[in-house]
Amino acid sequence: MKNYKILFLIVLMGFTVTAQKYTNTENTNVTKEWNGNTFSSSKSFAENIAEASDLSQMKKALENETILKALETEEMITVFAITNNGFTKLQAKKDSIFDRSKANLLTAIIKYHVIPGRVDSHSMKNAIKYSNGTAYYATLQGEKLGIKEENGQLVLIDVEGNTSVISATDFYHKKGFFHIVEGIVFPTN
């Protein structure tokens, strides 16, 4: 019986040493540039867009504690980052959605542009292909967000048929991916 215990201990140690050989302890940092900004997988989404002048309105939206907390509590997320041009399309309403009294509206819009999980452009295209033209994803807002391909570009679509072109894809952040969109789609609420 004692020999079996010793043999078991030797085998166990052998597996442990072998397994450690294949353990990757290095954190690989992935970077990608867009409009003169370098985004990094070692930074949070908010940290990545902090210096991007084309995303200053999105940065301003993240100053809302409810939105920031919603993004931080999720383990993995994919964010569709709205450019300033996207917010400009709401020019008449833009100032009002940043008003503290309208915080729920801004929160709903931003959470509608976030889906749980890590979804890159390749995954979206495959989902579109296997979903007969439009793939649907659940959002942090609790509603479905459609993604389709038009003229070779990925496009977000809401239930009212509003669209937003995804102009740049596959930027990493600590908790997943983010993609740049040129417009805003709206939740039903």
CATH of the domain at 50: 2.30.180.10
Q: Is residue 3 part of a domain?
A: no
Is 18 a residue whose pLDDT tops 90?
no
Q: Does residue 49 lie within any of the structural domains?
A: yes
pLDDT tens track for 136-189: 999 999 999 999 999 999 999 999 999 999 999 999 999 999 999 999 999 987
Select from 177, 183, 185, 182 the least CA-distant residue to 79. Answer: 177
pLDDT of residue 19: 46
Among candidates 43, 73, 80, which has minimal Cα distance to 156?
80
Structural domain contains residue 1: no
Least confident of 63-72, 96-105, 114-123, 133-142: 96-105
Give the integer Cα–Cα distance in Å for 10 and 66: 53
Which of the pair, 1 or 172, is modelled with greater confidence? 172
Give the pair of three-digit tokens for residue 84. Answer: 């300033």
Q: What is the DSSP string of the chain?
A: -HHHHHHHHHHHHHHHHHHHHT--------EEEETTEEEETTS-HHHHHTT-GGGHHHHHHTTSHHHHHHHHHSSSEEEEEEPHHHHHTTHHHHHHHTSGGGHHHHHHHHHHTEEES---HHHHHHHHHHTTTEEEEE-TTSSEEEEEEETTEEEEE-TT--EEEEEEEEEEETTEEEEEESS------
Interstrand relation of 134-138 and 144-150 (parallel, antiparallel or unpaired): antiparallel
> Could you list the residue range(s) of the whole structural domain that residue 56 is in?
28-181
Q: Is 101's pLDDT higher than 60? A: yes
Residue 37 has pLDDT above 60, yes or no: yes
Residue 176 lies in a domain: yes
The reply to whether 7 falls in a domain is: no
Specify the number of domains making up the chain.
Answer: 1
pLDDT at 103 (0 to 100)? 75
- Residue 132, in any domain of the structure: yes
Placement of tokens 């929160």 in the chain: 107
Evaluate whether residue 84 is within a structural domain.
Answer: yes
177, part of any domain: yes
